[in-house]
Amino acid sequence: VSSFLDAAECQHIIEKATPHVVRSGVSHMDHDVGKPATNWRSSSTYFMASDDENLRRLDRRVEALTLVRKTHQEHAQILRYERGERYSAHHDYFNPKMYAKNKDIQEMTEKGMFNRLITVFFYLSDVEVGGQTNFPQAGGGDPPSDFDNCDRGVSVFPRQGRIMVFYSQDPAANFDEYSLCPVRFGCYRMSCHSFT
């Protein structure tokens, strides 16, 4: 959706989040425990509550678009990517089998509850180059061999006010392997995850 937010709304979110952004972490799969988060991710993050009327109005618009209530959404995750920063290809859902030793993920996903179903990306800024969200397996195909490469599949480029919606699970709650996506450097974005 190309003009979901106006410039003032984007600026409000950026100004509100900027003092709070810190280095992004990752939830490590069992085989990656102990490795630095920067192996995959080098952005900055802030999980922001909808604590003013501008943000609550935006929540209502997201509810109307996705048909998912705010009560079934996480706080908005504000992400800042500086030049050269990225998030290697990943899924937005948590496969409990890959996090068997992670007590928090196990509790969160117990009986299939509270796993990520849908992601809404808000692009809060324009960039001169880069910034795209890439889906290397769009339309099928094998996983990429280079998890930082955005040259195959489908890419969505940031434009201030644009949003992108994608699903991590199908209607039967099966994980969508084709939702694998890396993110390139260079923009502010807001991510809103809804869970089942």
Note the Cα 138 to chain centre separation in Å.
17
Give the domain 7-184 fold: Jelly Rolls (2.60.120)
Mean pLDDT of 82-94: 82
Please give the single-letter amino acid code of residue 147. Answer: F
Q: Where are the domains of the chain?
A: 7-184
Q: Specify whether the CB–CB gap between 153 and 139 falls below 8 A.
A: yes
Task: State pLDDT tens for residues 12-25.
Answer: 999 999 999 998 88
Task: State pLDDT tens for residues 47-87.
Answer: 999 999 999 999 999 999 999 888 888 889 998 888 778 78
pTM of the predicted model over 0.75: yes
